[in-house]
Amino acid sequence: MYLERPGKIVEKKIREPSPKEGEVLVRIRSVGVCGSDIHYYQEGRIGKFVVRKPLILGHECSGEVVEVGKKVDDLKVGDRVALEPGIPCRMCEHCKSGRYNLCSKIRFMATPPIDGAFVEYVAHPADFAFKIPRKISFDEAALFEPLAVGLYAAERARIKPTDKVLILGAGPIGLTTLQAVRCMRGVEVSVIDLYEFRLAKAKELGADEVINPKEEDIWKKLSSSFDVVFETAGSAVTVKQTVKLAKEGGRVILVGLPGEDEIALDTKQIVFKELDVLGMHRYANMYPRAVKLTQEGSINLKTLITHRFSFEETEKALKFARDNKDSCIKVIVRI
Amino acid sequence: MYLERPGKIVEKKIREPSPKEGEVLVRIRSVGVCGSDIHYYQEGRIGKFVVRKPLILGHECSGEVVEVGKKVDDLKVGDRVALEPGIPCRMCEHCKSGRYNLCSKIRFMATPPIDGAFVEYVAHPADFAFKIPRKISFDEAALFEPLAVGLYAAERARIKPTDKVLILGAGPIGLTTLQAVRCMRGVEVSVIDLYEFRLAKAKELGADEVINPKEEDIWKKLSSSFDVVFETAGSAVTVKQTVKLAKEGGRVILVGLPGEDEIALDTKQIVFKELDVLGMHRYANMYPRAVKLTQEGSINLKTLITHRFSFEETEKALKFARDNKDSCIKVIVRI
Amino acid sequence: MYLERPGKIVEKKIREPSPKEGEVLVRIRSVGVCGSDIHYYQEGRIGKFVVRKPLILGHECSGEVVEVGKKVDDLKVGDRVALEPGIPCRMCEHCKSGRYNLCSKIRFMATPPIDGAFVEYVAHPADFAFKIPRKISFDEAALFEPLAVGLYAAERARIKPTDKVLILGAGPIGLTTLQAVRCMRGVEVSVIDLYEFRLAKAKELGADEVINPKEEDIWKKLSSSFDVVFETAGSAVTVKQTVKLAKEGGRVILVGLPGEDEIALDTKQIVFKELDVLGMHRYANMYPRAVKLTQEGSINLKTLITHRFSFEETEKALKFARDNKDSCIKVIVRI
Amino acid sequence: MYLERPGKIVEKKIREPSPKEGEVLVRIRSVGVCGSDIHYYQEGRIGKFVVRKPLILGHECSGEVVEVGKKVDDLKVGDRVALEPGIPCRMCEHCKSGRYNLCSKIRFMATPPIDGAFVEYVAHPADFAFKIPRKISFDEAALFEPLAVGLYAAERARIKPTDKVLILGAGPIGLTTLQAVRCMRGVEVSVIDLYEFRLAKAKELGADEVINPKEEDIWKKLSSSFDVVFETAGSAVTVKQTVKLAKEGGRVILVGLPGEDEIALDTKQIVFKELDVLGMHRYANMYPRAVKLTQEGSINLKTLITHRFSFEETEKALKFARDNKDSCIKVIVRI
C-alpha cells in the first residue's frame, strides 16, 4: 500500500524482495498504526522528512520468516518475529558507542525515502528481527515498537523506587511509558489526559492517580511536585507544564513531538531546580526487554489494541485512528 | 556593610560572633563582588528572595581563622581559609544523597535573610572552611566560589576528550567554566561574548576560538555543532541558541539565570537530537578540587581579578562592577 | 542486655537517655538478631572491632517515640519508627557526597564501642528514624535493616530488565537481595543454598530456579553464565564461584564477609570478561525505599520471621539463631 | 612474517588482498611489538588462544591507504592511517550497546587464527582506520593501540580532580595509563616499578612520585591509600597489593594479565572498603581520543619508542623486546 500523495493510499504490485547476507525475508502479519503514519498520510511530511515519491507507511510490525539469507544462524523459516524498524549504519560514532538511534544514516521504516511495513514481504537484517515467544500474538508483537519507546523513556529517566512520576498524555506512548515505569516497583504514578477512555486504560494499567484537566484544576489537584515528568502528549501546553511540575533535582523526559516551532518555557526553573530535561529520539537496545517483559506478563499490550482492520482497509485504518482518539488506543492492520 | 534598601549601603557596628561547636571564627580578608550582589544592591531582590531587613552582601570570601570552636580538629588559629558560603541542613534527602546544593533549608551567605561577607568577622562551620595553600592569595581564594560554579558546570557536562565545547558568555562564570573544561585535555573550546576585553581573557585562558557576534555572524562562523554548550550569559538570546548549537546526543548546561519569565525555545530540537538540557543550582563538593587545581597551576584565578577596593569603598566596588562590564571581570573588596 | 564477655549476656539497669536537639527518644519494641550479633556473642570481635567493655548488641530495630528533642519537626510522641542504626559524622568527604556509609566516624549500633538495641530506650537522630506505615508491624519494621542491605546490593548491581541474576546464599541477606532484585521486572533469578528450608523460602519469594549443591552439580545445572552474581554466603567457596559464573561485562556484588584472610581467586577472569567486582559496606539512603516497597507489598518481610523471643530471652535468641540455620531465617526479640 | 611454531618466524610470500566493500587496503609501515606478540612467539599460546597454524603476529600498526573499496567515503589513496586491530561482529548485544570489545566474534589481529600486521598489506574496514594528523609519525601512530588501553583504563576508573592515583607497573601500558590519567588535571600519580629506566620515563611523563620496591619499602613509603589503583604489571604480587592500597570507596582497575590461575586476594577489603574492582578487556571507542590527545601534545608517544628494527629483523625485534625490559619500552618494526 503506497502513500501516493497526502490523503491518497493506492495498492501496487511489488516484487518480493530477496534476503541478502545476514537478512531474513519476512511475511508481514500485523502492523500497528502510529501517529507518524497518520501525520505522513495527512501532511505528506514530518519536519524535514518529506514524502517525495510513493511511500509504504507502517513501522510497528511483526511477521513470519519465509526465507533466510546467508550467515544467519539464529533464525529459521517459520520463526515468528517482531521487526525493529530502524537499521543503523553500524559504523559511525553513535553506532559504535551504543546510541545507534542517533545514527544519521539510519534507515527507518516509513520515514521517507525508506519504505515501511504495509506490505506483504520485507527483507530485514536478522539481528533486528526478534523471536516472538509462543504465547504472544503477532498483533501484540507489532506493539513492541511503541513499547520500546516507553521502555527507553523509563531508561532515560533512571527511575528508582520512591520516585513520584507524572505522565502527561495517555495515548499509546503514554500508556507504554506507564507500563515501563511500573516495571520498577515502589513508584507512584499519576497520569493526565483529556480523554476519559484513555484515563480508564491508565487506571487499568496501574496508574495510582488519573486526572482530566477538563474536569479538575491540575494545579489544585497535584499536591506536590514530581521526581520525574514524562511529556508524551506533544502539545505546547504540556511541554510548558513539565518544568513547573518537576521538583528540585528532578528529571523531565520529552517524548512527544510538538507541532510548534518554539514553546515559551520557564527556563529559570530548569536552572533553579537543577532539572535534567532530556529529549529522546526513538530508542536503542529495547527490543530484548520488550520481549521479556511482555512474555512474563509484566507488560500488557493486548489491552492497547482497540481496533483491527484488514490489509485492504489500510487507508480506512489510518482514517479511523486519526478520527477516534476518544475511543481508540491502537489500531492494527492485519496483512 | 549593610544593604539598607536598594541602592543604599551603610556601615554599622556589629558584635563579633562566637564560634559554636564545630565552627571557626574567621577574620574576613577578601570578598569578590558577584552579579547577585549587584542585583540585590540594585533591585533589592532576586526572584523569590527579597531583602526585607538590612542585609550584609558578599559571599565569595576568604580570611584567617582567629578562634576555633569545640570539636574542630582540622583547623587552628592562624590558618588561612576560603569559605564555602552555603551551609545545608545535613539531614534532608538531598543532603544525604550528595546533592546538598538542593537542600531547601540551606543557609547561603548574602541570600536574604542570611548575612554575607562584607563584614569583619564570620562564624562558619569548619568543614565548609578550606585551607588555602601557601602560594595562593586571599584574593584568589575568594574566587574559589565562582570557580566552584565552573567546575560544577563541567562536572554536569560529563566532559570527555574529543568533545567540542561552546561557552556562551565570557564573564566570571564563563571564564571559570572555560578553565574547568580545559582541565580535561583533548577538548576544543569556542567562546562567544559581546565584549572584546572578555574574549581576550578567554583567549589568554586557552579558548581555541573566540567569537564576537557584534563582529561576525556566529551561524556562518560556526562550521559545525557542539557536543556541549554552556549558557553562562543568562540572556534569552543565548538560552535560545543552546539547543540549536548542540549536536545529536549533546549536552546543554544552563548556568546563567535569565531575567525573562519565559523563553521561546525550539523544544523539538531537544527531542529530535536527544539532548540533555541540564540546569544547575550553585554546586556541591567542588571546593576541594578548586583548591587542588589552583594550587597546581591548572587554574588561573589571578588574571580574573581586574580591580580592587577597600572595605570602606564597598558600595563603590558594587557600582564599579555594575558599570564596567567592558573592562572588568572580577572586583575584589579587601576587608 | 550487655555482652559482658564472649558467651555471656547479663542484664543491667541503665539510665533512660534524654533526647538531644534533633533527636527522639524511642522505646524499642522489636529487634532482629543479625549474624554480626551472634559473631560478637561468640567471638567478642569482628575483624578490627573488638568488644573491650560491656556492649549492648542488636541493631535491627523499631519502636515508639516517647519523647521529642528540640528542632524535631517531622516526628511526635506516639509515632512508630524504624531506626537506621548508623549515624555518620555528616561532615566528611563521604558524608557530603552521598556515601555516608563510608564515613570513618560513623557510630553504628552494636559495633564496639557503640551500644545497640537490646535495651528499652534509645535516643536517636530524628532523620534516621523512619515512620512505619500503619499496616507494617514493629517486627517487620525491624527488618528494614537487612532489607536495606539487599536493596543496596541491587542498587550497586544496576539491575536492568533481561538480566540473568544468581544469588549465592539464601539466608536473611540472600532473601532480601532476592526480593530487592525482584522489584525490577524482567529479571530471571537463580538462588543457591545448602539448606532446603532456605531454598523453599527463596522459591516462595519468587526465585525462578533454586539449586542445592548437595543435591546437584551446579556446574552441570547452570546452563549459562550470569549478568549479575551476588555473593551473600560469605564463604570462600562461593566467593571463588562468583567470577566464574559471571558473563562477559557482568557484575559481581560481594555482600558477605568471609572469615578467610585471603581467598584464591581467578583474577584473570575479572580481566578477560571485563567484570565489575563490587564490594559493599552496609548501605546508604535505602530506608525510604524499604518503607515504600514493604508498604505497597512488593517486599514480604513477614515470611522471613521464623521465631520470636522475649527481652529476657535475648541470650537464648542469640543461641537459637546460631544453632538452627536449617530451620530459621530471622529471629526477633521483643523488648 | 609467520610464526610457524614457538620460537620460529619465517618469511613467506603472500598474495596482496583486495579491499571488500567498506574496506581499505593498507600498506603497513610501522608495527609495535607487544607483550602478547612475545608471548605467542615464546609459548605458542595465550590462555585459550592457541597458534595451530602459521600466524602473522603484530597488531599495533599504521600505514598508508593504497586502495579503497566500495562505499568508503572518508578515506582516499595516500591517506596515512592507524588501524584499530579488532573488528567486532557489529550485531550482537555487546556491539549494539557500545561495548564491542566484549563481542565474542571479534576478529582481533594476531589473535589466532586471525593474522596480524607483520606483513606488507592488510585489508581493513575503513571505520577502523583512523587518519593520522600530519605531525604524527607512523611509528607514533602504531602506538595508538597501547595508548587506547591506557585511555580505556582511565575511562573505567572515572578519574576526577583530587584523585590520588597509583599505577603498578611502568611498562608500555603503565606509561600510557599514566599519560591518560594525566589528561585529567588535579590528579596526583604515584608509579611503582622494579626498573629504574622505566621509573625515569614515568617521572619524565609527569608522575608525581616513583617508587622502586627493590630500593624502598612501599608500605613505609606510601603514607596513605589511593582513590584509584591501576594494576598493569600482571604479576600476582601487584594484583594482591591493589585491594590493600585502595581507600574506602576506591576503584581498582585490573589491566595486566597474570600468569597464575589463581591469586590469593584479601576479598574482605573489597567488601569493607566498598571497592570497585574492575577488569578490562582491550578497549572500545578510544582511537579518536588517542588521535586528538596525541595531536595536541597532551600525550607523548615518541618517548616510548626506544628501539627500531627493519621488517627483515622482525624475529630479532621480538627477541630484543623480550630480553631487555631494563632498557627498552617500545620496539618498532618498520615494514
Residue C16: pLDDT band (50, 70, 90) is: confident
Percent of chain A with pLDDT over 90: 93
Whether A300 shows a pLDDT value over 90: the answer reads: yes
Residue A325: pLDDT band (50, 70, 90) is: confident
> D156 and chain B: CB distance < 8 Å anywhere?
no
Stretch C105-114: mean pLDDT: 96
Q: What is the pLDDT of residues A9-50, one digit of tens each?
A: 999 888 889 999 999 999 999 999 999 999 999 999 988 899
Stretch A210-221: mean pLDDT: 92
Whether C320 shows a pLDDT value over 90: the answer reads: yes
The whole-angstrom distance between B90's CA and the closest CA on chain C is: 6
Mutate to test the interface with C, among A163, A165, A181, A185 (most CBs of C within 10 A): A185
* pLDDT values of chain D reduced to their tens digit, one per residue, 335 residues: 899 999 999 998 888 899 999 999 999 999 999 999 999 999 999 888 999 999 999 999 999 999 999 999 999 999 999 999 999 999 999 999 999 999 999 999 999 999 999 999 999 999 999 999 999 999 999 999 999 999 999 999 999 999 999 999 999 999 999 999 999 999 999 999 999 999 999 999 999 999 999 999 988 888 679 999 999 999 999 999 999 999 999 999 999 999 899 999 999 999 999 999 999 999 999 999 999 999 999 999 999 999 999 999 999 999 999 999 889 999 999 99
Whether A223 shows a pLDDT value over 80: the answer reads: no
Looking at residue A12, its pLDDT comes to: 87
Query: Residue C172: how many CB atoms within 10 A of its CB?
Result: 29
Stretch C74-96: mean pLDDT: 98
Cα angle, residue C186 at apex, residues C183 and C190 outer, rounded to 5°: 80
How far does CA C169 lie from the centroid of its chain? 13
> B164 and chain D: CB distance < 8 Å anywhere?
no
- Chain C partners within 8 Å of A160 (Cβ): 289
The whole-angstrom distance between D312's CA and the closest CA on chain A is: 35
Query: Residue B312: how many CB atoms within 10 A of its CB?
Result: 10
Percent of chain C with pLDDT over 70: 100
Whether B263 shows a pLDDT value over 90: the answer reads: yes
The whole-angstrom distance between B34's CA and the closest CA on chain D is: 25
> B279 and chain A: CB distance < 8 Å anywhere?
yes
Looking at residue C279, its pLDDT comes to: 98
Residue B219: pLDDT band (50, 70, 90) is: confident
Q: What is the pLDDT of residues A161-215, one digit of tens each?
A: 999 999 999 999 999 999 999 999 999 999 999 999 999 999 999 999 999 999 9
Looking at residue D51, its pLDDT comes to: 93
CB spacing of B285 vs C92 below 8 angstroms:
no
Q: What is the pLDDT of residues B91-138, one digit of tens each?
A: 999 999 999 999 999 999 999 999 999 999 999 999 999 999 999 999
Q: Which residues 245-274 on chain C approach chain D with CB closer than 8 angstroms? A: 248-249, 254-258, 260-274
Query: Residue C256: how many CB atoms within 10 A of its CB?
Result: 22
ipTM attached to this prediction:
0.97
DSSP string for C155-218: HHHT--TT-EEEEE--SHHHHHHHHHHHTBSS-EEEEE-S-HHHHHHHHHTT-SEEE-TTTS-H
What is the Cα–Cα distance from D6 to A41, expressed in whole angstroms? 67
Looking at residue B220, its pLDDT comes to: 86
Region of residue D297 (left: phi > 0; alpha: psi -120 to 50; beta: else): left
- Chain D partners within 8 Å of B288 (Cβ): 162
| Cell numbers given for B163 | 568533545
CB spacing of D267 vs C266 below 8 angstroms:
no
Whether B223 shows a pLDDT value over 80: the answer reads: no
Whether C13 shows a pLDDT value over 90: the answer reads: no
DSSP string for B199-253: HHHHHHTT-SEEE-TTTS-HHHH--S-EEEEEE-S--HHHHHHHHHHEEEEEEEE
| Cis ω for the linkage preceding A113 (within 30 of 0) | yes
- Residue type present at position D211: I
Q: Considering CB atoms only, which of D260, D264, D271 is closest to C279?
A: D271
Q: Going by DSSP bridges, is the β-strand pair C55-56/C2-5 parallel, antiparallel, or unpaired? A: antiparallel
> D62 and chain C: CB distance < 8 Å anywhere?
no
Question: In this structure, what DSSP letter does residue C102 have?
Answer: G
Q: What is the pLDDT of residues C215-233, one digit of tens each?
A: 999 888 886 799 999 999 9
Mean pLDDT, chain C, integer: 96
Which chains reach chain A with 3 or more Cβ–Cβ distances below 8 angstroms?
Answer: B, C, D
- Chain B partners within 8 Å of A280 (Cβ): 271, 274
A203-208: which pairs have CB atoms within 8 A and are 24 or more residues apart? A204/A303, A205/A175, A205/A178, A205/A179, A205/A300, A205/A303, A206/A178, A206/A179, A206/A182, A207/A167, A207/A178
CB spacing of D289 vs B160 below 8 angstroms:
yes
| Cell numbers given for B293 | 587545581
> C285 and chain A: CB distance < 8 Å anywhere?
no
Query: Quick one: closest CA in D to B298, which residue?
Result: D185
Reduced to 3 states (helix: H, G, I; strand: E, B; else coil), residue A279 is strand
Q: What is the pLDDT of residues C25-75, one digit of tens each?
A: 999 999 999 999 999 999 999 888 999 999 999 999 999 999 999 999 999
> Bigger pLDDT: B220 or C124?
C124
Q: What is the pLDDT of residues B31-75, one digit of tens each?
A: 999 999 999 999 999 888 999 999 999 999 999 999 999 999 999
Whether C15 shows a pLDDT value over 90: the answer reads: no
Query: Quick one: closest CA in A to B261, which residue?
Result: A266
Stretch B10-21: mean pLDDT: 90
Q: What is the pLDDT of residues A64-115, one digit of tens each?
A: 999 999 999 999 999 999 999 999 999 999 999 999 999 999 999 999 999 9
Q: What is the pLDDT of residues C144-184, one digit of tens each?
A: 999 999 999 999 999 999 999 999 999 999 999 999 999 99
Mutate to test the interface with D, among C263, C268, C275, C278 (most CBs of D within 10 A): C268
Looking at residue A132, its pLDDT comes to: 98
Which chains reach chain C with 3 or more Cβ–Cβ distances below 8 angstroms?
Answer: A, B, D
